[in-house]
Amino acid sequence: MKLRRKLICAASAALMLFSGAGLLPGEMPSVSRPIVAEAASFTVNSTDVRLYAVQPDQKDYITIPSKYKKKFQLSVSGASDVSYSVLYYGDNGPVKVSSSGLITVSPQTQYQYRKDGYIWTYSTPQPGLELYRKISKVIFGTFTVRVSSGSEYVDVSVQVNDYSSVFVDNKLKTFVKETLSPLNDDKQKITEIAKYIAGYDYDYHYYTYRDMLIFGGGDCWASTGLACELARRAGMEAWERAGNMDLGAGSGHKNAMVKTADGRYFEVEAGYSGTAPRSYRVTERTSLFSYHYNTALEGKHIYQYDGFGDTVLDVPAELDGEPVVSIGSNCFNRNSSNYSPVSIHLPDTVKEIGSGAFFGRESLTEVNIPEGCTKLGEYAFGNNGMTSITVPSSVTEIGAYAFGFDKISDQPQKIESFTVYCEPGSAAWEYAGENGLARIAPPTPGDIDRNGSIDSIDLELFTVYITGGSDTPDIAVGDLNDDRSIDLRDYALLKRKLRDAKKEI
Ligand code: CA
Ligand code: CA
What are the residues whose beta carbon lies below 5 Å from ligand 1 (ion)? 447, 449, 451, 458
Ligand nearest to the CA of 482: 2
**Is residue 417 classed exposed, middle or buried when 0-12, 13-18 and 19+ CB atoms within 10 A define those classes?**
exposed
Ligand nearest to the CA of 443: 1
Residue 376 Cα, ligand 1 centroid: separation in angstroms?
28
Ligand nearest to the CA of 484: 2
**Contact by Cβ (8 Å): 494, 473:** no
CB atoms within 10 A of CB 429: 19
Q: Which amino acid is at 159?
A: Q
Residue 307 Cα, ligand 2 centroid: separation in angstroms?
49
What is the rounded CA–CA span in Å between residue 358 and residue 334?
10
Q: Which amino acid is at 241?
A: R
What is the rounded CA–CA span in Å between residue 483 and residue 227?
65
Residue 491 Cα, ligand 2 centroid: separation in angstroms?
9
254, β-bridge pairs: 242
Residue 478 Cα, ligand 2 centroid: separation in angstroms?
7
Strand 108-115 with 131-137, pairing: antiparallel
Residue 449 Cα, ligand 1 centroid: separation in angstroms?
5
Q: Where are the domains of the chain?
A: 2-160, 183-285, 289-440, 456-504
Ligand nearest to the CA of 473: 2
Residue 458 Cα, ligand 2 centroid: separation in angstroms?
15
Q: Which amino acid is at 380?
A: A
Region at 404 (left for phi over 0; alpha for psi -120 to 50; beta for the rest): left
Residue 392 Cα, ligand 2 centroid: separation in angstroms?
28
Q: Which CATH number is 289-440 given?
A: 3.80.10.10
Strand 237-242 with 254-259, pairing: antiparallel
What is the rounded CA–CA span in Å between residue 241 and residue 271?
12
Residue 468 Cα, ligand 1 centroid: separation in angstroms?
20
What is the rounded CA–CA span in Å between residue 225 and residue 290?
21
Ligand nearest to the CA of 446: 1
Q: Single out the residue of 274, 269, 168 nearest to residue 227, CA to CA.
A: 269
Residue 459 Cα, ligand 1 centroid: separation in angstroms?
9
Residue 457 Cα, ligand 2 centroid: separation in angstroms?
19
Q: Single out the residue of 470, 418, 426 nearest to residue 449, CA to CA.
A: 470
Ligand nearest to the CA of 485: 2
Residue 455 Cα, ligand 1 centroid: separation in angstroms?
6
Residue 394 Cα, ligand 1 centroid: separation in angstroms?
23
Ligand nearest to the CA of 476: 2
Helix or strand or coil: residue 222?
A: helix
* Per-residue pLDDT tens listing for the chain (505 residues): 444 433 333 333 333 333 333 433 434 444 445 554 457 899 999 999 999 999 999 999 999 999 999 999 999 999 989 999 999 887 788 999 999 999 999 999 999 999 888 899 998 899 988 899 999 999 999 999 999 999 999 999 999 999 999 999 999 999 999 999 999 999 999 999 999 999 999 999 999 999 999 999 999 999 999 999 999 999 999 999 999 888 888 888 999 999 999 999 999 999 899 999 999 999 999 999 999 999 999 999 999 999 887 889 999 999 999 999 999 999 988 765 567 899 999 999 999 999 999 999 999 999 999 999 999 999 999 999 999 999 999 999 999 999 999 999 999 999 999 999 999 999 999 999 999 999 999 999 999 999 999 999 999 999 988 887 777 889 999 999 999 999 999 999 999 999 988 877 6
What is the rounded CA–CA span in Å between residue 319 and residue 289?
9
Is pTM, for the whole model, over 0.85? no
Ligand nearest to the CA of 466: 2
